[in-house]
Structure 1
Amino acid sequence: METKPLVSIICTVYNKGPWIAQAIESFLSQQTTFAVEILLVDDASSDQSPQILADYAERYPDKIRSFYNESNQGISKTWVRICQEAQGDYIARCDGDDFWLDPLKLQKQIEALEQNPQSRWSNCDFDVYNQDGVLKAQAGFEKDVIPLADTYEKMLATRGFTMASTWLIERELMLEVNTELDLTTSDDTFNLQMDLFQRTELTYLPEPMVAYRINEGSDSRPKDFDALTYRFNRLLDTQLDYVEKYPQSDFKEMTKILLRRNNDYELELSKPITSVSQIGSQTVTIYFAAADGVFSQEDILRKTLEAEDTITFKLSPDVTRIRIDLSEIPSFYSKVALIDKEHNTEILPYDLNGFQFQNDYFFPQPDPQLFYEIKDYHGKELTLHYQMMNVDDVTKLNYIGDVLGRKLLELGPKAEELTIYKVQCEHLQQRNQELQAQLEEMVVRYNSVTHSRRWTIPSKFINLFRKRK
């Protein structure tokens, strides 16, 4: 006899191949006193995600059900549809690149909701990991890495955050809220949170039981500034819609929140600029020139400037030169490399408007640029990799000197180590010369003996006896 699940874990997946297995394993490791089912849905991924889901569904047929969209539907449509498949009394959400840390997560949240009957929705604290699985911050809510929005007013005024991969929600409430979801929204969780707050209190557990993976380039964290602008404008439209949707809300409280935030932003903007990088506010732009040598202002590649990044692009057959603008302001890099992916060889710039010291690139003037001849690379795929220096205050007169000085200090111990190796090498060379001299002396002695009469006469007798046998 099958046991009806109390909780349905739902995980939506789109190109999460590098991380989805870790998420599924964290679901399977849950220790509960009640039955749990796992629903995995792939939104027409182009990577290995569908195969991974199918493998887990085959290995755990009693726990996992997998679903596959034939074409990409987007997170909102995928979420609404998959919730209809849930058989549990509660729905637990987790995105495909996040994972759960505590095997008792579901058990603790169920018990918390049972103790708070006025609440039909629970979340918890989280730790922050990067896309390589490195822990970056602990207890995101408790340490205010990302503020917890625990009311409708905070959520609407600040575009707040409850961390969707920590949610546990009554199924019927989730289905009710889903019916009001704008399927074209820029962020489904933003809408869902505001509708949930209008219907129930949030029960928050301050334990970090979930890993939130910061995945650059995802829908929620687009690298491209144009994509970011589009997302923010869509979120603003949603905020304005909800102002009209729930006119009974506490607008006085929202005004206070907004005034405080505005004051904080003005203070931040009033700070003197002390960092050369302005990471996130600048862009890396790649221009392409055809046979006429003129760089096109239309056919360009642009990405937001990061502390470190890798940009891959394919050349058109007619491109002969490229120009890379690393930003619009003075910039300093510990590495800039343009690589031919096919042969894994570096293409060196024929010109730049800064200067190079070893592997470091210094651009003390605005608009740093590098120029490359790529006539021999038609149609090939190239990769630009750069890494910015950890800069402090470029406005100091001796800034570049300080950077070079730190480089020399770093090289000092290495130079001392090389000096020791040099002395050891000289000793070995001297010993080698001594041994070579001894060997030559032994050869001379050997030859003098083998060619002497005392050696040759006995040798003749030996040979004579050998012939008589």
Structure 2
Amino acid sequence: MKQPKVSVLISFYNLAPYVDQTLESVLAQKTDFPVEILCADDGSDDGTIEKLRAWEQKYPDSVRVFVMDRVPGAKYEANERIQRMNAIRGRLFYEAKGEYVCYLDGDDFYTDEHKLQKQADILDADTEHQYVGCGHNGCYYWESTGRTEPIEKPLRACSLTAKEYWSFLYIHTNALMLRNVGLQGIDPYTSGVQIIDNMLTFQFLPYGGIYYLPDCMFNYRQMEGSTYHRRSVYQNYILNALMLYQQAVICKGFFASGLVRTVFEYGELFAARRNPQLTREAQTYMDNIRRYHAGRLRRIVNYNNESLPARLWCEIENPVWFFLTRVCRHFIWKPKVRALLEESRRKQEQNA
């Protein structure tokens, strides 16, 4: 195989029923450049590895498979589960030889055979490297009914600086094509931050902005057993809110954008601070919160276990932070971003 231009990095764990559809969707891509497909498995015991090996034998020039060691029958939850996901994604990144990399979860699949070509063309044309990545929309996909629904609100094609992107837009990691900064000797994994979706993308933002395409070009399968669904909504809010502290480990210039990005989660957590059941749910992630010295977040989610002075301070500080966030949003959301959001709002109303 010639030097690949794009490396597609796919992670698996007990996804045997979906291996064929996922790999077929990548191999069906129509490009004028070579594509390598790197598959990492977290020690599956349901036949996933055997299926991956069969694809590797059939396409030895395109497909490579890596398998992580796993204690037979071991179940990893919470932080351990995230750590193994990080290890898989890191291994794939270090193995990638392509100029560009695309992450993909093993149960999801591409729906546009020109996806990789469209994204690579945009990044190729960006000779000044204004963008570190090109992303697009995708669709939630319910296999039982075949129903699909766009993940993001309608938004036209646009270029965004890194701070503009971080302040208001979410692009699923499956929908991003990123420059392989590892080829320039940059290791985005050295921060040690737990890399789950948003933080995976943030690792690359110090090196450029994002170009966005509105096309829905992959399906995001909705499964009850997925890592996202294994956590409660409240726990997902905690992990998202923690990003405000994690991002500072990677790059300190995004604080205001991070305030805007996480304001919804902080608002929901603050509103639920007195619920003792949710305080118990939060204990799973208290080590993470302490590790990043996330004092404000700790006082909110651990409210019922905090001292009286800490609870009083929680009541005072958070309205101030919410006000500061509104100020930051006013100055970050320049006319371009406000116009994009207003246009999106109008389209949504028209389609309602």
Task: Compute the TM-score of the two structures, normalised by the length of structure 1.
Answer: 0.48
Match of 1:135 among 119, 136, 147: 147
Q: Deviations over 1:28-74 (max 9, x none)?
A: 10111111111111110122211110111111112211111122771
Does the 8 A contact of 2:241 with 2:266 survive in 1? no
2-side partners of 1:193 and 1:156: how far apart? 9
Quote the sequence identity (%): 23
Q: Deviations over 1:352-377 (max 9, x none)?
A: xxxxxxxxxxxxxxxxxxxxxxxxxx
Does the 8 A contact of 2:6 with 2:99 survive in 1? yes
Structure with the larger helix share: 2
1:76-87 superposed matches below 5 A:
76-87=86-97
- Counterpart for residue 347 of structure 1: none
1:55 correspondence with 2:64: no
Give, as a single letter, the amino acid of the residue that structure 2 aligns with 1:9: V
- Counterpart for residue 247 of structure 2: 242
Match of 1:192 among 200, 218, 239: 200
2-side partners of 1:133 and 1:58: how far apart? 34
Does the 8 A contact of 2:159 with 2:211 survive in 1? no
Give, as a single letter, the amino acid of the residue that structure 2 aligns with 1:203: Y
Does the 8 A contact of 1:127 with 1:135 survive in 2? no
Q: Deviations over 1:166-224 (max 9, x none)?
A: 121122258735333436x2x532222222222211111211111111222311222x6
1:152-167 superposed matches below 5 A:
161-167=170-176
1:174-189 superposed matches below 5 A:
176-182=186-192, 185=194, 187-189=195-197
Q: Deviations over 1:407-454 (max 9, x none)?
A: xxxxxxxxxxxxxxxxxxxxxxxxxxxxxxxxxxxxxxxxxxxxxxxx
User: In 2 relative to 1, CA 3–247 (structure 1 residues): closer, same or farther, beyond 3 Å?
Assistant: closer
- Counterpart for residue 22 of structure 2: 23
* Residue aligned with 2:49, SS: helix
2-side partners of 1:101 and 1:156: how far apart? 26
Q: Deviations over 1:392-414 (max 9, x none)?
A: xxxxxxxxxxxxxxxxxxxxxxx
1:6-405 superposed matches below 5 A:
6-71=5-70, 74-117=84-127, 118-132=130-144, 134-137=146-149, 139-143=150-154, 161-173=170-182, 176-182=186-192, 185=194, 187-222=195-230, 225=232, 228-243=233-248, 246-249=251-254, 251=256, 261=264
User: Cα RMSD (Å) of the superposition?
Assistant: 3.5
> What are the ranges of 5 or more consecutive residues in structure 2 without an aligned counterpart?
72-82, 278-352
Task: Compute the TM-score of the two structures, normalised by the length of structure 2.
Answer: 0.63
CA drift of 1:247 comes to 3.5
User: In 2 relative to 1, CA 152–88 (structure 1 residues): closer, same or farther, beyond 3 Å?
Assistant: closer
1:376-455 superposed matches below 5 A:
none
Does the 8 A contact of 2:244 with 2:262 survive in 1? no
Give, as a single letter, the amino acid of the residue that structure 1 aligns with 2:91: R
CA drift of 1:161 comes to 2.8
CA drift of 1:262 comes to 8.3
Structure with the larger strand share: 1
Give, as a single letter, the amino acid of the residue that structure 2 aligns with 1:167: L
Does the 8 A contact of 2:175 with 2:218 survive in 1? yes
1-side partners of 2:46 and 2:145: how far apart? 19
Give, as a single letter, the amino acid of the residue that structure 1 aligns with 2:177: L
Does the 8 A contact of 1:122 with 1:168 survive in 2? yes
User: In 2 relative to 1, CA 114–155 (structure 1 residues): closer, same or farther, beyond 3 Å?
Assistant: closer
More deviation in 160-169 or 31-40? 160-169
Give, as a single letter, the amino acid of the residue that structure 2 aligns with 1:216: E
CA drift of 1:12 comes to 0.8
Give, as a single letter, the amino acid of the residue that structure 1 aligns with 2:45: S
CA drift of 1:96 comes to 0.4
1-side partners of 2:123 and 2:45: how far apart? 39
2-side partners of 1:230 and 1:258: how far apart? 14
CA drift of 1:84 comes to 1.6
> What are the ranges of 5 or more consecutive residues in structure 1 without an aligned counterpart?
270-280, 284-469
2-side partners of 1:78 and 1:207: how far apart? 28
2-side partners of 1:218 and 1:150: how far apart? 31
Report how many residues are paired.
Answer: 257
* Residue aligned with 2:225, SS: coil
Does the 8 A contact of 2:162 with 2:208 survive in 1? no
* Residue aligned with 1:15, SS: coil
Q: Deviations over 1:238-266 (max 9, x none)?
A: 42232465443362x5556666x489979
User: In 2 relative to 1, CA 240–75 (structure 1 residues): closer, same or farther, beyond 3 Å?
Assistant: same
2-side partners of 1:44 and 1:164: how far apart? 22
CA drift of 1:152 comes to 5.3
User: In 2 relative to 1, CA 197–48 (structure 1 residues): closer, same or farther, beyond 3 Å?
Assistant: same
2-side partners of 1:25 and 1:134: how far apart? 18
